[in-house]
Chain A
Amino acid sequence: DQQVKQNSPSLSVQEGRISILNCDYTNSMFDYFLWYKKYPAEGPTFLISISSIKDKNEDGRFTVFLNKSAKHLSLHIVPSQPGDSAVYFCAARTSGNTPLVFGKGTRLSVIA
């Protein structure tokens, strides 16, 4: 049973516009959420995280929103740039020393 779901396999956005990537989860015990970015033939790199005590976290062009009641989080990228084209993975974990659970990823294409 998939605990972290990214229902959009791909997304295409014009350069300069906002990219919104979505993620849903089923495990109500998750309390820490992360987004990773991955280029082909490279390992994922950490982008931004949010703990369950917050509903928003910002870092430059990247903002993550968490809606605990809906078990939903989203990553906003503003403005989108061609270099943002990559696969984005949503991940979550419960408290304590537990592994990250990943979604299947969304491929973002930013068109110049």
Chain B
Amino acid sequence: DVKVTQSSRYLVKRTGEKVFLECVQDMDHENMFWYRQDPGLGLRLIYFSYDVKMKEKGDIPEGYSVSREKKERFSLILESASTNQTSMYLCASRWTAGEAFFGQGTRLTVV
């Protein structure tokens, strides 16, 4: 079974903090993705990565950065958390073709 694991289920951070969301996959997938899900807006792509040390901006990259130093790990970084970044964050991975597999999600609240 493919496993995509996100480091936290729930997280509460203060405005201005630097926040790290970690994601690890165990299937040697080349591609990894970060989405956020908000009510009425669906899943929106923040960043993705095709390979180690490679990254591409998605639709809403502002206020975020990513790191992929190892194939199995893809980190999302909120440089200075703001209340409008309160959301459900979803990590996914897949091979070049086929479906993407998602982690369980991290519900981030910025206060």
Binding site for B on A (CB under 8 A): 6, 9, 34, 36, 41-46, 49, 89, 91, 97, 99-105
User: In whole Å, how far is B59's beta carbon from the nearest beta carbon of chain A?
Assistant: 9
Nearest-Cβ distance from residue B65 to partner chain A, whole angstroms: 17
Do A104 and B99 have beta carbons less than 8 Å apart?
no
Which single residue of chain B is at the shortest CB-CB distance from A9?
Answer: B40
Q: For the complex, what is the distance from the CA of A43 to the CA of B103, rounded to whole Å?
A: 5
Residues B43 and A44 in contact, CB atoms below 8 Å apart: yes
In contact, B100 and A104 (Cβ under 8 angstroms): no
Known: A100-B100, A102-B42. 5 other contacts (CB 8 A): A41-B107, A42-B105, A101-B45, A105-B42, A105-B43
Bound-complex Cα distance A31 to B5 (A):
29
Flag if B90 contacts A44 (CB, 8 Å).
yes
Q: Chain B residues near A41 (CB, 8 Å)?
A: 9, 105, 107
Q: Counting CB contacts under 8 A, is B74 at the interface? A: no
Separation of A103 and B43 alpha carbons in the complex (Å): 7
Report yes or no: B107 in contact with A45, Cβ–Cβ below 8 A: no
**Bound: A102/B36 CA distance, A:** 11
Cα distance A104–B42 when bound, in Å?
A: 4
Judge whether A99 and B99 touch: CB under 8 Å.
no
